[in-house]
């Protein structure tokens, strides 16, 4: 039988996604093996996470860290249940690998393909005291569940009032963000939509160790429904040392990743790696000292850490991947001008996705890159 | 099975060999079979006759009834109800209470003394009869026209009135519109206005009860009862909730109140199938249609449904209770804008769950005109007494507007409360705080 033979393409760049320009000096691929944002050795872990002495860190990527967090959660409490589309065989991103085998099909299971059903189901289970961790396969598909999140999950405790019933312990996990070729429906980051809703906590980790600590916090320490967004481009790319045991990272504090005196860059999730690269280039080229802050929890967020930083530096840039219009940057910038007006020496700049959709071949031009962040740093310092 | 629920399975195993693996869900084909075992429909036979299954050829699902509209048991040979007469009398009084309260509160809303009200005239039998078959440990999710469920489950007149007037004793702390009742125990979740959202939630709650029963065999058997109207059944959440309940085998009874109208929309514009009941079969759910004006039929169906729901660890059931919405949709609706007054008058005369049970009670010598008049008088007095007290009570403290959004008041909310306080203190003539508990200090 004749088979269709395609000529093997020799230069390796993937033709289906836009590659960096061969002459790039700023927009280079992120080298996750050398970025200062990841714990390449166990030694640096204790700088950021309060670990027990018996800590036995293990090198993991983001999906493995999520898997480790879920395994820890399922063994810590039999109230924890894990469900969504295709989670039983391990999940389309492998986050629930082996968990059904280990914990049984009663606690780890597939649901029918219905996002509104999945979130509604989680709300009901949480209302009866369980700790449901629901998975939405892509953040792009959370919108059918928007009503359940906005009108039900977020308002549950408030409307129950003196009955004392709440749905703390409920977590909705969803992979989010651009991945190079996700186009319209495998690239979105709707965190700003959820950050507009009182009653839910919105969290986005940047790394494996952070993901585990924040996810365990969301399940066990938060008494509020949590929208937990996982940058899927990091699932396999970001590798670092992650403690094996149970630990948590608080949901109400930002983290100063790198101190500096001349400018504050505020971001969260994957763009932090771009910010880090842009800061390195800018510090080298412009001789400035730049502070980098990871919000970690997008709402309710840590205003104090951000304001303290900007009052010190006098300049600020907010960076995020999702669209600029009414994005998280708008709230952060407005808060800065309100809380640090007399310290500001330049307008607060927002570097974010353009106000369009993520057309397949245009992704690289739409979401922030190192060049755009570098340029914003330069403009803000020069102002 | 229990060990898998409580922790890791010790015999953790993964296929080590290259032997082709067959999953438990895999389906094999027997040679010479009269059907292909397509995974999506494993029991479908082949046919050479090309026939479209036409819903109008299928028999309509019958309506179960126990007594006729004269309060006479239809099947003379049936065994008597296994319920003491005192209990049946309490059902009757509960239906009357709802009915008396409805008349008073509807009028009170017309006088502008509360912002909103919804009566359940014609549907008292569905809510009281079904709730009577539940235990206090069962969990209820309701839509909003189930006042009888709250009444049957022990919600007191004072509780109703506190909620309706949003005073300091309101469980909802003055946050919800009237008739959005809620109770921790017997757990009857606080009503939310969004239609059908409670349906997948109730499936999740039922699954939680199932899991908790597996993990702790000492827990009493519990089910979830989920109420909704036939209009709400058009929402996507109905589909999601029933389908999930079926695939996860949840101990739940769905009760659809099919009263013929969703505000102005008659059922002909709501669906074209055989009501809501016919859909239950499509989801693989045991289903029954009952006469909602017959409290005995509703009670018996619910009792049986409850026991089916508890079978094999969990099994959803759908009850479609037929009735007629005698009243306006709400105090914001004039139903004569879309239906004839004579049609409503007909229904009021022809059939009604309260009158039907009253006839049965009178036939049994348990009730008479004097008892009826005295009971109605007492109920009316009791309602008016609680009404007056609730109306005079202060509203909750203003801080309740900000509390309960998160478990703890956020820094942002603290700052906003402080700012609101400053505004009120700066412009005291603009705000009347006399009604609120602790006045400005309540902030």
DSSP A141-191: G-GGGHHIIIIIITTHHHHHGGG----TT-EEEEEES--SS-TTTSS--TH
Single out the catalytic residue among B329, B335, B386, B437: B329
CA distance to partner chain A, nearest, from residue B133 (Å): 21
- Per-residue confidence (pLDDT) for residue B3, from 0 to 100: 43
Q: Which of A233, A234, A267 is nearest to A376 (CA)?
A: A267
Q: Tens digits of per-residue pLDDT, B110-150?
A: 999 999 999 999 999 999 999 999 999 999 999 999 999 99
Q: Which helix (H) or strand (E) holds A340?
A: none
**Higher per-residue confidence, B78 vs A79:** A79
Contact: A121, B203; criterion CB under 8 Å: yes
Asked whether the beta carbons of residue B8 and residue A224 sit closer than 8 angstroms, the reply is: no
Reply yes or no on whether B323 is catalytic: no
pLDDT recorded at residue B194: 97
Spatial separation of the C-alpha atoms in residues A228 and A210, rounded to whole Å: 12
Yes or no, beta carbons of B171 and A162 under 8 Å apart: yes
Please tell me the predicted confidence (pLDDT) of residue A137. Answer: 97
pLDDT for B7 equals 47
Task: Give residue A18's pLDDT.
Answer: 58
Asked if A107 lies within 8 A of B405 by C-beta distance, the reply is no
Phi/psi at A294 (nearest 5 deg)?
-100, 120
- Which residues on adjacent β-strands are paired with residue A264? A291, A316
CB pair distance less than 8 Å for A114 and B214: no
For B194, which of A105, A127, A151 is closest by C-beta distance? A151
DSSP string, A296-339: SEEES--HHHHHHHHHHHS-EEEEEEEESTT-HHHHHHHHHHHH
A200 neighbors A194 (Cβ within 8 angstroms) = yes
- Residue B8 confidence (pLDDT): 46
CB of A144 within 8 Å of any CB in chain B?
A: yes
Query: For B230-236, what is the mean pLDDT?
Result: 97
- Cα atoms found within 13 Å of the Cα of residue A308, Cβ hemisphere only: 11
For A218, other C-beta atoms within 10 Å of its C-beta total 29
Q: Is the pLDDT of residue B5 over 90?
A: no
pLDDT for A85 equals 97
Asked if pLDDT for residue B67 goes beyond 80, the answer is yes
Half-sphere exposure of B271 (CA within 13 A, CB side): 19
Return the CATH fold of B58-392: Rossmann fold (3.40.50)
Mean pLDDT of B415-432: 97
Q: How far apart are alpha carbons A338 and A321 in whole angstroms?
A: 24
Question: How far is the alpha carbon of B28 from chain A, nearest alpha carbon, in Å?
Answer: 21
A-B CB pairs within 8 A amount to 190
Nearest-neighbour CA in chain A from B34: distance (Å)? 29
| Spans of all domains in chain B | 58-392, 398-442
Please answer whether residues A257 and A232 qualify as being in contact, where contact means their C-beta atoms are separated by less than 8 angstroms: no
How high does pLDDT run on average in chain A?
94
CB A68 within 8 A of CB A244: yes
Using a 10 angstrom Cβ sphere, with 0-12 exposed, 13-18 middle and 19 or more buried, the burial of residue A18 is middle
Q: Is 90 exceeded by the pLDDT of residue B57?
A: no
Cβ contacts of B69 within 8 Å, gap of 6 or more: B293, B350, B351, B356
Q: What's the pLDDT score for residue A14?
A: 61
Q: Which two tokens stand for residue A258?
A: 């790198």
The residue-averaged pLDDT of B260-284 equals 94
Task: Check residue A4 and give its pLDDT.
Answer: 60
Does residue A84 sit at the B interface (CB-CB below 8 Å)? no
pLDDT at B278 over 70: yes
The Cα–Cα gap between A31 and A273 comes to: 9
Query: What is the per-residue pLDDT across A152-187, written as a single tens digit (0 to 9) for each?
Result: 999 999 999 999 999 999 999 999 999 999 999 999
Residues contacting residue B356 through CB under 8 Å, at least 6 positions apart? B67, B69, B70, B71, B125, B293, B294, B295
Cα gap A133→A123, rounded to integer Å: 10
pLDDT tens digits, B301-323 = 999 999 999 999 999 999 999 99
Which range among B3-17, B76-90, B267-281 shows the weakest confidence by mean pLDDT? B3-17
Kindly write down the DSSP assignment for every residue of A9-51, as one continuous string.
P-S-S-TTSPPPPTT-SSSPPP-TTT-TTS-SSGGGHHHHS--
Contacts of range B372-375, beta carbons closer than 8 Å, 24 or more positions apart: B375/B93, B375/B96
Asked if A253 is an interface residue toward chain B (Cβ–Cβ < 8 A), one would say no
pLDDT at A250 exceeding the cut of 50: yes
Q: Which domains are seen in chain A, by residue range?
A: 42-243 (3.40.50.970), 255-382 (3.40.50.920)
Cα-to-chain-centroid distance, residue B270: 20
d(CA A341, CA B383): 58
Please state the φ and ψ torsions of residue B194, each to the nearest 5 degrees: -60, 120
> Is the pLDDT confidence value at A3 over 60?
no
Q: CB of B407 within 8 A of CB of A166?
A: yes
Residues 6+ apart with CB under 8 A from B253: B130, B223, B224, B225, B226, B302, B305, B306, B309, B316, B317, B318, B319
What is the average pLDDT across B413-441?
97
Query: Tokens standing for B18?
Result: 């290259």
Torsion of CA A352, A358, A360, A361, to 10 degrees: -40
- pLDDT, tens digit, for every residue of A94-150? 999 999 999 999 999 999 999 999 999 999 999 999 999 999 999 999 999 999 999
Instruction: Report the alpha-carbon distance of residue A155 to residue B406 in Å, rounded.
Output: 9
Cβ–Cβ of A98/B183 closer than 8 Å? no
Q: Please say if B193 is a catalytic residue.
A: yes
Compute the distance between CA of residue B260 and CA of residue B266 in angstroms, rounded to an integer: 6
User: Which residues make beta-bridge pairs with A357?
Assistant: none
d(CA A262, CA A314): 7
Provide, rounded to the nearest whole percent, the portion of chain B with pLDDT above 70: 93
- pLDDT, tens digit (0-9, with 9 covering 90-100), for A64-95: 999 999 999 999 999 999 999 999 999 999 99
- Whether A9 has a pLDDT exceeding 60, the answer reads no
Res. B207: pLDDT tops 90: yes
pLDDT of residue A16 exceeding 80: no
How far from the centroid of its chain's Cα atoms is residue B239's Cα? 16
Catalytic residue among B3, B33, B115, B193: B193
User: Cis peptide leading into B217, omega within 30 of 0?
Assistant: no
Residues A123, B128: Cα–Cα separation, whole Å: 27
State the best of B186, B312, B406, B409 to mutate against chain A, taking most chain A CBs within 10 Å.
Answer: B406
Q: Looking at the whole model, is its pTM more than 0.80? A: yes
From chain A, the residues in CB contact with B316 under 8 A are none
pLDDT for B134 equals 98
Q: Which pLDDT score is estimated for A1?
A: 46
Instruction: Tell me the nearest-neighbour CA distance from B224 into chain A, angstroms.
Output: 10
Of the two residues B67 and A7, the one the predictor is more confident about is: B67
DSSP character at residue B262: E
SS3 call for B188: strand
| Confidence band for B15, pLDDT divided at 50, 70 and 90 | very low
Phi and psi dihedrals of B131, rounded to 5? -65, -30
| pLDDT surpasses 90 at B42 | no
3-state secondary structure of A66: helix
Of B179, B193, B204, B274, whose CA–CA distance to B235 is shortest?
B193
Query: Among B130, B162, B203, B330, which one carries the catalytic annotation?
Result: B330
């Amino acid at each position: 039988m004749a088979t269709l033979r395609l000529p093997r393409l020799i230069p390796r760049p993937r033709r289906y996604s836009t590659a960096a320009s061969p002459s790039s000096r700023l927009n280079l691929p992120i080298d996750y093996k050398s970025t200062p944002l990841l714990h390449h050795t166990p030694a640096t872990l204790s700088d950021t996470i309060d670990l027990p002495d018996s800590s036995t860190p293990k090198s993991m990527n983001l999906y493995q860290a999520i898997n480790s967090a879920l395994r820890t959660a399922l063994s810590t409490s039999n109230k924890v249940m894990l469900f969504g589309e295709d989670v039983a065989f391990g999940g389309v991103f492998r986050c629930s690998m082996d968990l059904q085998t280990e914990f049984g099909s009663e606690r780890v299971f597939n649901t029918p393909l219905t996002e509104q059903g999945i979130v509604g189901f989680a709300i009901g289970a949480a209302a009866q005291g369980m700790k449901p961790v629901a998975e939405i396969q892509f953040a792009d598909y959370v919108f059918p569940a928007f009503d359940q999140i906005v009108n039900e999950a977020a308002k549950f405790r408030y409307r129950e009032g003196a009955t004392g019933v709440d749905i703390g312990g409920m977590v909705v996990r969803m992979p989010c963000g651009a991945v190079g070729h996700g186009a319209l429906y495998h690239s979105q980051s709707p965190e700003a939509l959820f950050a507009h809703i009182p009653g839910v906590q919105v969290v986005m980790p940047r790394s494996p160790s952070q993901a585990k600590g924040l996810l365990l916090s969301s399940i066990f320490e938060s008494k509020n429904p949590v929208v937990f967004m996982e940058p899927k481009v990091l699932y396999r790319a970001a590798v670092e040392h992650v403690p094996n045991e149970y630990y948590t990272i608080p949901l109400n504090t930002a983290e100063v990743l790198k101190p500096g005196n001349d400018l504050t860059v505020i971001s969260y999730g994957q763009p932090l790696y771009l910010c880090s690269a842009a800061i390195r280039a800018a510090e080298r080229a412009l001789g400035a000292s730049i502070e980098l802050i990871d919000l970690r929890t997008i709402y309710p967020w840590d205003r104090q850490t951000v304001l303290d930083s900007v009052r010190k530096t006098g300049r600020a840039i907010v960076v995020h991947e999702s669209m600029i219009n009414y994005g998280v940057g708008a709230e952060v910038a407005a808060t800065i001008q309100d809380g640090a007006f007399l310290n500001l020496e330049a307008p607060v700049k927002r570097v974010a996705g353009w106000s369009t959709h993520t057309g397949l071949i245009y992704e690289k031009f739409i979401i922030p890159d190192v060049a755009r962040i570098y340029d914003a740093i330069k403009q803000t310092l020069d102002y | 099975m229990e060990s898998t629920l409580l922790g890791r399975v010790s015999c953790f195993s993964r296929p080590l060999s290259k032997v082709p693996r067959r999953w438990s869900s895999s389906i094999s084909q027997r040679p010479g079979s009269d059907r292909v075992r397509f995974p999506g429909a494993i029991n479908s036979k082949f046919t050479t006759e090309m026939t479209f299954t036409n819903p109008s050829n299928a028999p309509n699902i019958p309506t179960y009834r126990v007594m006729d509209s004269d309060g006479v048991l239809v099947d003379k040979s049936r065994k008597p109800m296994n319920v003491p007469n005192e209990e049946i009398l309490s059902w009757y009084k509960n239906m009357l209470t709802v009915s008396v309260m409805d008349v008073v509160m509807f009028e009170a809303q017309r006088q502008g003394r509360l912002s909103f009200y919804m009566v359940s005239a014609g549907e008292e039998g569905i809510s009281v009869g079904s709730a009577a078959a539940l235990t206090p440990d069962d969990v209820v999710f309701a839509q909003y026209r189930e006042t009888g469920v709250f009444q049957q489950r022990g919600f007191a007149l004072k509780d109703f009135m506190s909620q309706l007037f949003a005073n300091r004793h309101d469980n909802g702390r003055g946050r919800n519109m009237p008739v959005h009742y809620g109770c921790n125990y017997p757990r009857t979740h606080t009503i939310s206005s969004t239609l059908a959202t409670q349906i997948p939630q109730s499936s999740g709650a039922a699954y939680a009860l199932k899991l908790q029963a597996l993990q702790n065999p000492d827990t009493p058997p519990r089910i979830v009862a989920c109420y909704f109207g036939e209009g709400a059944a058009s929402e996507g959440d109905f589909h999601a909730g029933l389908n999930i309940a079926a695939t996860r085998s949840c101990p739940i009874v769905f009760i659809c109140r099919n009263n013929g109208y969703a505000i102005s929309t008659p059922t002909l514009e709501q669906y074209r199938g055989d009501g809501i009941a016919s859909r239950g079969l499509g989801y693989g759910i045991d289903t029954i249609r009952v006469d909602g004006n017959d409290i005995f039929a509703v009670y018996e169906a619910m009792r049986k449904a409850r026991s089916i729901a508890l079978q094999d660890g969990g099994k959803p059931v759908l009850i479609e209770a037929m009735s007629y919405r005698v009243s306006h949709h709400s105090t914001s609706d004039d139903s004569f804008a879309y239906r004839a007054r004579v049609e409503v008058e007909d229904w009021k005369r022809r059939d009604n769950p309260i009158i039907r049970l009253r006839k049965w009670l009178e036939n049994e010598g348990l009730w008479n005109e004097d008892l009826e008049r005295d009971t109605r008088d007492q109920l009316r007095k009791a309602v008016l007494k609680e009404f007056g007290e609730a109306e005079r009570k202060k509203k909750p403290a203003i801080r309740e507007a900000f509390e309960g959004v998160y478990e703890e008041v956020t820094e942002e909310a603290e700052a906003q409360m402080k700012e609101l306080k400053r505004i009120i203190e700066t412009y005291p003539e603009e705000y009347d705080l006399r009604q609120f508990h602790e006045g400005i200090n309540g902030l």
